Amino acid sequence: GENVEQHPSTLSVQEGDSAVIKCTYSDSASNYFPWYKQELGKGPQLIIDIRSNVGEKKDQRIAVTLNKTAKHFSLHITETQPEDSAVYFCAASRSGTASKLTFGTGTRLQVTL
Amino acid sequence: DVKVTQSSRYLVKRTGEKVFLECVQDMDHENMFWYRQDPGLGLRLIYFSYDVKMKEKGDIPEGYSVSREKKERFSLILESASTNQTSMYLCASSPPATDTQYFGPGTRLTVL
């Protein structure tokens, strides 16, 4: 089955700096890669996703890049703000299999003032 | 607005008790999922369901069962709770032919 590794497990940045979280996956048939943000006391919420026919996707301060050859994808957050502090999860799946996602182990991001 | 609710935010049970965790979604979604979340392990899929009365095992089904009698409700059952089932349990749902999952707020279960 699929295996997703995520690094780092914790990340501390100053407000205004950029943050990068990286994931690798093992199943070359995976073609859907979402990122979820989990704030304290809440369930994870989708913030951005990318499919294997696209190399990069951007939504305001958030971007995701995908390297299919190397089987890794990354989340980039620019101009970080205190409200970006949360736990971030990457995931991978074969689209069409009822979204059976395999999640990474999570990254706790802390944005300090 | 998408809404997934879970019956309890916090639950404390004794070893050997039968435990029911309930999840309800109001979006008419076909697909529903149960995960457990543990520090350093991320989210791991326990069971999922494509339709009423249909269920499939996820990656860690041992010690759990599920029930889906109605489309909007998906229950996770711990037949005989054990201390290693102390965890955060997350329910999610998704509509057909899409990949986005919508999560509930979670139930933190402690088994003493």
A-chain residues near B105 (CB < 8 A): 41-43
Mean pLDDT of all residues in A94-107:
82
What are the backbone angles phi and psi of residue A27, rounded to the nearest 5°?
-90, 110
What are the backbone angles phi and psi of residue B33, rounded to the nearest 5°?
-140, 150
CB contact under 8 A, A43 and B4: yes
Q: Cβ(A21)–Cβ(A72) under 8 Å?
A: no
B60 and chain A in contact, CB less than 8 A: no
- For tokens 């889906």, what's the residue? B68
A3 and chain B in contact, CB less than 8 A: no
pLDDT at A98 exceeding the cut of 70: no
**What was the pLDDT predicted at A64?**
97
CB contact under 8 A, A105 and B99: no
pLDDT in tens, A25-34: 999 999 999 9
pLDDT at A97 exceeding the cut of 60: no
Token representation of residue B46: 């326990």
Q: Cβ(A51)–Cβ(A30) under 8 Å?
A: no
pLDDT in tens, A16-63: 999 999 999 999 999 999 999 999 999 999 999 998 888 999 999 999
Distance CA B41, CA B48 (A): 19
Higher pLDDT, B28 or A97: B28
Q: What are the helix (H) ranges across chain B?
A: none
Higher pLDDT, A79 or B95: A79
Q: What integer best gives the mean pLDDT of chain B?
A: 94
**What was the pLDDT predicted at A94?**
87
Nearest CB among B42, B58, B105 relative to A89 is that of B42
pLDDT in tens, A78-96: 999 999 999 999 999 987 6
pLDDT in tens, B42-93: 999 999 998 898 899 999 999 999 999 999 999 999 999 999 999 999 999 9
The amino acid occupying position A65 is T
A104 and chain B in contact, CB less than 8 A: yes
